[in-house]
Structure 1
């Protein structure tokens, strides 16, 4: 019998519910963010977070959307029919079968960040599974400017998953391991994740420790996204969304390069897009009610 190989890249899925709140009698809306690597669903009650679920995106966008929302429904006792409006966003936003509307992830991440970190946030870095976005927004979370890099997986969650598998270290441990070095190594030079992987292998053969290779890759990711952020300019409070926001090895190096400290939030950084979609859904319900009234 073949021994199953550990999946070092696999990050922890999560489901959370605010059990102090009751959704009954409130205006229930939902946002579903189907990304290339992960999918999230957020349910809001009266414009406030009630619950969320974050799962790995599978081969089917509709199935991933349904699994993400099902996690919150099962935990809360909600039925899909109890949700007044659903907005889909992300890579697979047009394939959310139960969505009433689809919106871009850029708009949704800005709106979600505004809720998660407060109206003082003006610059947002969304480090997704396959792309990276630098966003500027106003005090309401409305996008005023953005730039996107989707040409290569380097500087994204997928790139970090490749390194985790290569180093055979759980992805959640990479950030801390990147600081356990005697001196900071230079960043890997390649911007393509395929070549960066080859370069990392070469570093290991040359006698670098795994921690030094991870540090070199984290530095390269930080330098790559900082170049994108600097093109839109850092103004006001700075906030990072996406799975990479959980990697201290990348975040602290970004902060060091920019000379700013990212705003912390008690919410999971991966839910920003789905949260923004749920908040947009609530706004749409309120507008419809106002017109009807």
Structure 2
């Protein structure tokens, strides 16, 4: 049996999914990226093989995506995040027509066709105030573990507004709320609402259609999901697998690419999709 791997090298986390030659997922893994992207990619692949009993020599194709996709030395192809998240979200939730990917540094909204093709997109890449890294800074300012802030935000009674579009200025607003004695829960809810407002603005620009599927690391944050649903006025698709949508999409596309190569062996082994 042969395997293909999709690896999503993000600014904070690196995720990988392995799929066998029948198209079935055989395992996944998530590890911190750190400063050395090549090392993160290599270690993630090695741990994926060890943890799920995959022979590295039987991995015939690797597709990379994410912020560090060009820094994966063992890849055969690199694919944009948009393409991978669209394909991965559609596999996880077949009714998906809008994808909302909220990562550590960037947020993007995609409208997709029923085959996963991206037909419209908008991206917020100017400032981290519209993405997950801002929540990390808020958690650090409040001296709270990142994993706790979502649940705490759901306890808010009077969410405190955070209006700055700059992450640095928004962090100053958080500090001002702390100085004013505002409850931590209310400050956190305000931070989540701030991101949700910016992200939902992207959704409206692409002409969102149901079903809406959320991907990216923030899907583990119940407070963020709640804030998004409140502003969208509808429920969204999200599961424990949603953070792996990019890596899964890369793996699916890797398998398709490998199959085409078997039919046309003269095709180039390294390309960009």
TM-score (norm 1): 0.87
Contact conserved, 1:34 with 1:65, CA < 8 A, in 2? yes
Match of 1:130 among 102, 105, 110: 105
The root-mean-square deviation of aligned C-alpha atoms, in Å, is 1.3
Distance 2:126 2:240 in 1: 32
Match of 2:68 among 68, 87, 92: 92
Runs of 4+ in 1 over 6 A off after TM superposition: none
Task: State the match for 1:274 in structure 2.
Answer: 247
Match of 2:218 among 244, 262, 275: 244
Q: What are the within-5 Å matches in structure 2 for residues 72-221 of structure 1?
A: 72-118=48-94, 120-183=95-158, 185-221=159-195
TM-score (norm 2): 0.93
Distance 2:210 2:201 in 1: 18
Aligned residues: 264
Contact conserved, 1:54 with 1:270, CA < 8 A, in 2? no
Deviation digits for residues 200-242 of structure 1 (CA, Å, limit 9, x no counterpart): 0101111201111101111111111111111002202000001
Deviation digits for residues 83-134 of structure 1 (CA, Å, limit 9, x no counterpart): 111001111111101101111111011011111112x101001101111110
Deviation digits for residues 45-81 of structure 1 (CA, Å, limit 9, x no counterpart): 1222211111111111111111221221111232322
CA separation of 1:117/1:266 partners in 2, compared to 1, >3 Å: closer, same or farther?
A: farther
Contact conserved, 2:219 with 2:239, CA < 8 A, in 1? no
Deviation digits for residues 174-212 of structure 1 (CA, Å, limit 9, x no counterpart): 1111121233x2420111111111110101111201111
Distance 1:265 1:204 in 2: 33
Match of 2:32 among 31, 44, 56: 56
Contact conserved, 1:186 with 1:216, CA < 8 A, in 2? yes
Distance 2:232 2:64 in 1: 33
Q: What's the CA shift for 1:254? A: 1.2
